[in-house]
Amino acid sequence: MSGYLLILPEILLVVGALWALFAEILPGGDRGSAWLGAALSAAAAVLSALQGVGGTSPFGSLLVFDGSARLARVAIAVLTTVWLLWTAGRGKGRVREAVSLAFFTAVGAMFMAETRDLITLLVAVELSTVPGYVLIGYRRGDIRGLEGALKYFLLSMLTSLVMLYGFSFLYGLTGTTHYDGLDVSSAGALGVLALLLSLVGMFAKLSAAPFHFWTPDAYAGSDPWAVAFVSTVPKVAGGVAIVRLVAAVVPSVATGGVVLLVIAGVSVVLGNLGARTQTDVRRLMAYSGVAHTGYLLLGVSALSDKGFIAAIFYAVAYAAPSMGVMLVAAEEGSRLDAFNGMAQRRPAAAWGVVVLLLSLIGIPPLAGFFGKFSLFAAALAHSGPSYSAMVVIAVAMSVVSAAYYLRIVRAMFFAEPAEEPEALTRSVPAAAALAICVLAVFAVGIAAGPVFSGLATLGR
């Protein structure tokens, strides 16, 4: 496949976004935009999966269609389908603008996963991020949501400017914006500065410490339904994008791997310890996301193909269970005690959440286990003793994560609700969305071998 057919999945998502913008005057109305969007994103997932690796892009070498791009596109399209199914079944109020924003975010995320050029990366990052500001503050009458959206906007804009400043240094030092020519080994301290500035923006997008402080407040002020999308789809793309950028620049900088290792360690420790005391599921999952970014960066810091592939796999393995948990929080309530007695009210959903949480902890044979195992193996394969020490810390923090994830399990199965919960109407689309997330963590775990083989075609 070649030419514009290579970006047919992205074209389908753009069609969905434009349809949603004018849904008020088109067949199906407001809710129909979510149904049509789910169908279009499902079609995009199938097309992405069927497309072969490679092909002649109409954009020259700016975009690459390798195994990593294919996995990311399939994951982004499937996650978008899940979110739109839930929105069609349980979305409150007007949803057409939210559907359009989600589609634009997904298109930007797909291009992030494919790009191999600094300028294209910057445009894709902003296309994926800017709609997220609006989704976080989508409930205009909620002052906390608007506050969270403002915090997200201000920090994201600041870090984007810093990242752009770093890109300008890279261009000045190498004379190119294409990844193939970004060798700054002879630039000395200026090369290190260019690398640090360039990575700051990516760290903030991925909620890596110490650039994570916006995340808990932004998530806690927003509807869990919006958090489910903003905290997962861009992170899958960000995982692939930072792998491509690091693979191009960091090996030419002597201290690059150390910087990544330090950021990984700080993220793992602060994220897990921060989540341990939370009573709001949104804040708990926000700090959990910081920790999972740390695990991802641990693999990236190994600066090996094995570590890069493990990081991309882990971005997908994290996103599916995280979205599922947040969608259930959107149904039950954001506070931890809102889950009390859920096993009696909705046993199937409660057991589904258990599976998702076990994957986040890293229990076999679920996707999270194979993701963490591959990350730790890649780090241990590095000759530096600091990597072995960091793996020990990461394993210890995984035990800590089990403590706060199992608090949700305890609430669902062993705690009595403080008051009679509001009856939740049955919704087949919402149930299907949760079922897809649960099946995904099983499927990705069982198919880990073939997935890793497909990722071996990492184009850089």
Residue ranges of the domains in the chain?
3-455
pLDDT attached to residue 210? 85
pTM of the prediction?
Answer: 0.93
Q: What is the mean predicted confidence (pLDDT) over 428-435?
A: 91
Please state the rounded mean pLDDT for residues 443-453. 85
Residue 260 is which amino acid? L
Average pLDDT over residues 242-257: 82
Higher pLDDT, 430 or 460: 430
Chain centre to alpha carbon of residue 7: 21
How far apart are alpha carbons 217 and 353 in whole angstroms?
A: 24
pLDDT digits (tens, 9 = 90+) for 79-131: 999 999 999 888 776 788 889 999 999 999 999 998 988 999 999 999 998 88
In whole angstroms, how far apart are CA 450 and each of 236, 259, 268, 456?
Answer: 19, 32, 28, 10
pLDDT value at residue 52: 64
My answer on whether omega of the bond before 417 falls inside 30° of 0, hence cis, is: no
Decide: 14 and 103 in contact? Cβ < 8 Å.
yes
Span 421-442, average pLDDT: 86
**What is the pLDDT confidence band of residue 254, given thresholds at 50, 70 and 90?**
low
pLDDT tens-place string over residues 129-141:
888 888 888 777 6
Phi-psi region of 72 (alpha: psi -120 to 50; beta: other; left: phi over 0): alpha
Q: What pLDDT is stored for residue 459 in this prediction?
A: 44
Q: Measuring CA to CA, which residue among 312, 357, 315, 184 is closest to residue 254? A: 184
pLDDT at residue 460 in the model: 42
pLDDT averaged over every residue in the chain: 87
Dump pLDDT digits (tens) for 19-77.
888 877 667 666 788 888 899 999 999 998 887 666 566 676 788 888 888 899 999 99
Q: At CB < 8 A and 24+ separation, what contacts does 426-429 make? A: 427/89, 427/90, 428/89, 429/85, 429/86, 429/88, 429/89, 429/90
- Tokens 């999972």 belong to 292
Residue 272 scores a pLDDT above 90:
yes
**pLDDT, tens digit (0-9, with 9 covering 90-100), for 304-352:** 889 899 999 999 999 999 999 999 998 888 888 888 888 888 899 999 9
Out of 236-240, 347-351, 380-384, pick the least confident.
380-384
